[in-house]
Chains A and B, each alone.
Chain A
Amino acid sequence: MAATDRFDAIVIGSGISGGWAAKELTEKGLRVLMVDRGRMVEHGEDYPFDGKPAYEIPARDKMPAALAKRDYFALNGWVSPSTQPFFINDRLNPYDYDAPNKFNWVRPSVVGGKSLTWGRWSFRWAPTDYEANKREGVGVDWPIRYDDVAPWYSYVEKYIGVSGGKENLDYLPDSEFMPPFPMNVAEKWLKGRLEGEFPGRKLINARLSNITEDKPEQNRTRCQKRSQCSHGCSFGAYFSTQAVTLPAARATGRLTLRSDTWVTNLEYDPAKKRVTGVRMVDAKTGRAEVVQARMVFLCASAMSSLHILLNSRPKDSERSWFHSNGALGSAVMDHIFRVGVQGEIPGMTELIEYGRRPGGVYVPRFRNLKTEELPFKRGYGYQGQAFRQPAMVDGFGADMKHGMREYGPWKFSMGAFGECLPYDDNRVMLNFNKQDRFGTPLLRFDVTFRDNEIKMMDDALEQGQLMLRRAGLVNVTGGRGKHVPGEAIHEMGGARMGRDPNTSVLNGWNQAHDAPNLFVTDGAQMASVSCVNPSLTFMAMTARAADHAIKQMKAGVI
């Protein structure tokens, strides 16, 4: 980069949040540098497995166990040869924890971040989610409420396209929807039975950032029901940086994108209380430089942003500039996960599915909504689907082969995502005894699940099976694994928003209390985590923060 280059803003990270920051800031007139440690992936051209069946993918798309164990241990089953090029190699990029408190930190290694491989389930938070901390005296109060974010949800949803069904539920507000992916016949049957047996509980269409109507102005075609989204989709049918926010930012002519560039820390002027530059290392040459801009949007994903913030510190000090009140790195959260139930749906065996939907159905939270008398706080929702698998036939030979042309019964399975509480002593920090290849002390996790989470998992298991049994499913089974934090891939918190600068890192506009020209708009900002998937909220909050930043810049405040 030439020394003459001048940027109004630097966006760190190009994933779900960073892409939105770049789009909003460039569209509002700023010259933006977006940097990402990952390699470049161009939309369409760099999706080597888009549209490919298993026989055209190395190893028939089954990850060799030894390779997964050696290089992708944090992914714990998420990665396959078709998605592996999008994920980071854990062996070459280590992090740290003490053995009993394992953390499975799932990280991307490409421009676009996890937007290329995410599951695309997209929900608004409910008003109660922004109020729960205050009501229960847990963590710190959110400085904002649902009404502050609602217009930004709409703004983002209209742009990206979210499919789903209107339900008018006060605990799961509707989005600006495109038509939902339809339920299959077995799901419709289950919906009727479940809602009849459990008044107040619902089984609804998935809400997905997969479009069901074309968006020609964005060069995007509606979903073709192939269900191989994590290979990358050249139809642009699901939200990703590549398909949606990057083209918009590029179209302004004001975006500079640098891939293979690792940010190690922010430079800070304590007298002026401003971030003065971003230190970045070229991953290919190892050359480091500090690039300056009037403001910085930190969107490296929750834990990576904390890593960068923790490593932004005075020379000869182990304490970050942004750690003045001790809050940085604390109250790290992830959703509860690893509770699953399944069973067989009787009948309808003459019907099957044509096409492959990229999502299924959702049972929204039904716990602790009206009264809070259960032995745990907050709640969980269930994501699931009904499907038919080929029959498994005993024996071998022609009879077996032809027997396998029939389907087995309809089955339904669903898994819970639940809300974990913000515990101050669930934290990340730097380990000064170990460094990564760029000389940065490793990020160290000390995050565990507590009594509230364990009780919630038990309840989810019990209620899940009860619902399926009472709805009339047979052979209902369920299981509850040990949940290792990080595995739900919804890690959040650590630089939370708050009203009080003494107990939080960011204000209600995502601005660092210690540096008004620094905005952190990824999951690190979260003061609590609701039980729904988080990324839609990151997008809305990023767009909202960018709007505020521009106003402040124009007003000369930053």
Chain B
Amino acid sequence: MSRARGVAMIGRRETLAAMVAAFGASAFAPLARAVAYKPDPVINTGPPAPVFTAAQRALVAALSERVMPTTDTPGAITAGVPAYIEHMLGDWAIDDERATIFGGLAAIDARSMADYRVPAVKATAAQQDALLTLAMNDKLPGATEFFPAFKQLVITGYFTSEVGITQEREYLPVPGEYDGAYPYAKVKRIFSA
């Protein structure tokens, strides 16, 4: 009696989910798909689904900071770029695209071990720059597509972040006016879109 009411109350999707889970890996594909089906589209606004191992995550952070370093304005790490990259790979990328990044990270690590006898994350900033330069110049087998993809991720993540939009660039939330002949010399910065 109470069990029947419980089932009725948890609704169709949960019931199905509970049942399909019981089949484990042998769940019939259409059933699994029905469970996965969400009537409303969802964009992940929470923390990223983990994609990297701890070591990969640390390397991504270190390399993104080399690409967009802290100078007179904050760099990639302060801007939250590493999490952005993980978010992109977890929620957007498909397998091939993830492989480009994973492969590149592995190649950089391997070369770092060979040249400096430490994993890339432990290499000095100058050594990391040298490794990235090799990747950029196509001199790192397995990492040829890595550099442009990684640079794009860093730049996009940075210039859509609060740091990028309001500190590195000049943001006008409500400009009010438009001037189509404004001297660059007055700001010496890029106005954020």
Contacts and interface: CB of A to CB of B under 8 A. Distances in A.
Interface string B124-137: 00000100100010
Interface in B158-191: 160-162, 165-166, 168, 171-185, 187-191
A316 interface: no
Contacts of A354: 172, 175, 177-180, 182, 191
Given A64-B43, A224-B174, A405-B188, A54 B181 contact: no
Contact of B66 (A53, A61, A185, A397): A397
Given A84-B41, A396-B67, A355 B177 contact: yes
Among A51, A349, A390, the one with the most B-chain Cβ atoms within 10 Å of its Cβ is A390
Contact of A226 (B42, B71, B129, B174): B174
B52 interface: no
A355 B193 CA distance: 9
A396 B174 contact: no
Among B44, B151, B165, B181, the one with the most A-chain Cβ atoms within 10 Å of its Cβ is B181
B71 A401 contact: yes
Contacts of A227: 193
Nearest to A184: B180
Given A71-B41, A89-B41, A396-B151, A353 B179 contact: yes
Nearest to B125: A397
A70 B39 CA distance: 12
Contact of B175 (A51, A59, A61, A356): A356
A92 interface: yes
A413 to B, nearest CB: 15
A36 interface: no
Interface in B24-61: 39-45
A501 interface: no
Contacts of A62: 92, 156, 160
A300 B44 CA distance: 33
B191 A353 contact: yes
Contacts of B183: 350-352
Interface residues of A, number: 52
B24 to A, nearest CB: 26
Contacts of B192: 53
Nearest to A65: B92
A405 B190 contact: yes
Contact of B160 (A60, A71, A226, A402): A60
A438 B172 CA distance: 46
Size band of the interface chain B makes with A: 35 or more
B68 interface: yes
Contacts of A60: 84, 156-157, 160
Interface string A342-378: 0000000111111111000000000000000000000
A143 interface: no
B115 interface: no
Contact of A352 (B39, B71, B191): B191
A186 B71 CA distance: 33
B14 interface: no
B184 A397 contact: no
A558 interface: no
A407 interface: yes
Contacts of B184: 349-352, 407
B189 A59 contact: no
Given A60-B160, A64-B91, A401 B189 contact: no
A89 B190 CA distance: 37
B92 A55 contact: no
Given A352-B191, A353-B180, A396-B151, 14 more contacts: A55-B165, A184-B181, A186-B180, A353-B179, A353-B182, A354-B180, A355-B175, A355-B178, A355-B179, A397-B69, A398-B71, A400-B67, A402-B71, A404-B190
